[in-house]
Amino acid sequence: MAAIIISDPTRTTRPRKATAESLWSRWLIISIAVGFMGLMFVLPLVIIFQEAFRKGWEGFVQAFDDRATTHAIWLTLKVAAITVPLNTLFGLAAAWCISRFQFRGRRFLSSLIELPLWVSPVIAGMVYVLLFGAQGLFGPALKEHGIKIIFALPGIVLSTIFVTFTFVARVLAPQMEAQGQAEEEAAMTLGANGWQMFWRVTLPKIKWGLLYGIILCNARSMGEFGAVSVVSGHIRNKTNTVPLHIEVLYNEYQFVPAFAVASVLALLALVTLILKTLTTTQRGAA
Amino acid sequence: MSIHIHHISKTFGSFHALKNVDLEVKTGELVALLGPSGSGKTTLLRIIAGLEFADAGEGSIQFHGTDVTNRSAYERKAGFVFQNYALFNHMTVAENIAFGLRVMKRPERPDREDIEKSVTELLRRIALEGYGSRFPSQLSGGQKQRVALARALAVGPQVLLLDEPFGALDAKVRKTLRKWLRQFHEETKVTTLFVTHDQDEAFELADRVVVLHEGDIQQIGSPQQLREHPKNEFVADFLDCVMI
């Protein structure tokens, strides 16, 4: 009489995956994740913009009507304009070496590329002071020739290059390794020289990864504080980049200008995030 | 064009991929390099193409009497077809086929219309008319390999090298392409070397078959010679025939 009901077609529950959690634990995990992100990332961002506009739009605009501020922005753009192309080139070369050549110390080189991620940026700055500073290794020689590296633009650029070197190479090396070089070999047997092979075959293959690396490199080079702080000397209108300038403003209790300038950096971060997401989807699609 | 391979050795670390190999391929011949995996057949093919270089020493490779031992792949311009097609995925079928013509140096490079014409002609030849604007990802394996063949042929190579060209395809497509390749070779008489581990394929297609084992050439001969007079136990065993 009592037939065993194996399946009831009227029930419309979604098929449950073996790995799915129970409803309660799912909710718990989601709320922890969302709550943490909100508290740690979204709230600070909101506060930056709120403080920046505390005295309204006028107060915000006024913050930029200041020579020191515009100079800092200009300097930061200059540093990024030098650093990003150089690191794109270095990154490409390094990724090329690691993914295409077999040589002794290849593993070591590929871990060395990540060095900037483990080393405190302050140390990155200190190294250059010890090398090129007045008391540094090359200090006297440089002074003799009237070359100023520390407390000047070259020092800022050098330390920024150190800190942001990793991004392009780190994105490209695994991608190029995974893609292999069959297409490059095909191009060569078809009579393409190295240059043609790079522009017509390799670059189109890696362009989204490259762009992704460049975006990250740019964001970091504009936002770097620690390394630059050591070598810059904080000379207003001379060697203060945007992050350093924000600190100066804040320490002088100029809260609205400080947050207004900070909001520009925050905006940069948001734009970076959007671009990063876009390039990642493109990379996935490619 | 003839190919002379003289005393070629290749080691990867401590692994001897090729041991003092000598081989001569006559103009217009269709030769199969046959052997189990790891026998060195692909390495030999890649060395002929210039994608790999033999160990320094007395070894040499000549294309029609010209020494090309130290020439790079792009100077040798041997048509090469890869097992996994190696098509340029970001280019259309037509752009793939035109690639070799477009990278030519100015004076030799055909103009736009001539390139278009040869692409259309090649597409007809591989029975893929109207596929020119598609991308490789929209093609089947057999179609991809035909495009790869057309791409290699576009520059009019003197030598055609095929590395397990049908290895990744299913049996039926394989048979059709085999027939097509044989026919193509009859028409053009381009010197052709192809690598395979499939004895049927080698025997059906090739004028001569080179049997390789552990980097050594075991025997060279026509399919009939090999079948009737296998030189040693390995050849007999590999070809699955009884030694007399």
Report DSSP letters for B184-212, one per residue. HHHHH--EEEEEES-HHHHHHH-SEEEEE
pLDDT the model gives residue A10: 53
Average pLDDT over residues B18-41: 92
**A10 in reach of chain B (CB within 8 A):** no
How would residue A167 be classed by pLDDT, with cut points 50, 70 and 90? very high
Per DSSP, the three-state class of B61 is strand
Chain segment A75-111, per-residue pLDDT in tens: 999 999 999 999 999 999 999 988 888 888 888 888 8
pLDDT the model gives residue A107: 86
Q: Which of A188, A196, A201 sits opposite B88 (nearest CB)?
A: A201
CA atoms within 13 A on the CB side of A188: 19
- Does ipTM top 0.95? no
Q: Could you give the percent of chain B with pLDDT greater than 70?
A: 98
Q: Quick one: CA dihedral A234, A240, A241, A243, positive or negative?
A: positive
How many angstroms away from the CA of A103 is the closest CA of chain B? 12
How would residue A14 be classed by pLDDT, with cut points 50, 70 and 90? low
Q: Could you give the percent of chain A with pLDDT greater than 70?
A: 93
How many angstroms away from the CA of B129 is the closest CA of chain A? 22
pTM reported for the whole predicted model: 0.80
Average pLDDT over residues B135-146: 93
**A102 in reach of chain B (CB within 8 A):** no
**B51 in reach of chain A (CB within 8 A):** yes
**A191 in reach of chain B (CB within 8 A):** yes
**Which of the 8 DSSP states describes residue B79?**
E
Residues of A in contact with B154 (CB under 8 A): 190
How many angstroms away from the CA of A194 is the closest CA of chain B? 9
Angle, CA B152 vertex, CA B146 and CA B155 arms, to 5°: 135
**A201 in reach of chain B (CB within 8 A):** yes
How would residue A285 be classed by pLDDT, with cut points 50, 70 and 90? low
* Secondary structure percentages of chain A, helix, strand, coil, to 5: 75, 0, 25
**B103 in reach of chain A (CB within 8 A):** yes
Distance CA A265, CA A271 (A): 10
Phi, psi of B32 (to 5 degrees): -105, 135
Residue A221 Cα to chain centre, angstroms = 7
* Residue A21 vs residue A34, higher pLDDT: A34
* Element at A60 (helix H, strand E): helix A56-63
CATH 1.10.3720.10 fits A56-285, yes or no: yes
Distance CA A113, CA B48 (A): 36
Average pLDDT over residues A242-262: 91
Average confidence score pLDDT of chain A: 87
Least reliable range by pLDDT among A275-284, B150-159, B184-193: A275-284
**Are the Cβ atoms of B152 and A182 closer than 8 angstroms?**
no
How would residue A30 be classed by pLDDT, with cut points 50, 70 and 90? very high
**Are the Cβ atoms of B77 and A192 closer than 8 angstroms?**
no
Q: Which of B78, B103, B154 sits opposite A196 (nearest CB)?
A: B103
**Are the Cβ atoms of A183 and B89 closer than 8 angstroms?**
yes
Given a cut of 60, whether residue B121 has pLDDT beyond it is yes
Average pLDDT over residues B33-40: 90
pLDDT the model gives residue A21: 72
Average pLDDT over residues B108-133: 92
Phi, psi of A268 (to 5 degrees): -55, -45
pLDDT the model gives residue A1: 45
Tokens of A229: 């702080």
Residues of A in contact with B100 (CB under 8 A): 190-192
Chain segment B203-228, per-residue pLDDT in tens: 989 999 999 999 999 999 999 998 88
Chain segment A110-140, per-residue pLDDT in tens: 888 888 888 898 998 898 888 888 788 888 8
Cβ–Cβ < 8 Å for B212, B183: no
How would residue B22 be classed by pLDDT, with cut points 50, 70 and 90? very high
**Are the Cβ atoms of B74 and A201 closer than 8 angstroms?**
no
Given a cut of 50, whether residue A212 has pLDDT beyond it is yes
**A189 in reach of chain B (CB within 8 A):** yes
How would residue A233 be classed by pLDDT, with cut points 50, 70 and 90? confident
**Are the Cβ atoms of B155 and A190 closer than 8 angstroms?**
yes
**A203 in reach of chain B (CB within 8 A):** no
How would residue B108 be classed by pLDDT, with cut points 50, 70 and 90? confident
Given a cut of 70, whether residue B241 has pLDDT beyond it is no
Average confidence score pLDDT of chain B: 90
**Are the Cβ atoms of A200 and B103 closer than 8 angstroms?**
yes
Average pLDDT over residues A212-231: 91
pLDDT the model gives residue A286: 54
Distance CA A196, CA B84 (A): 22
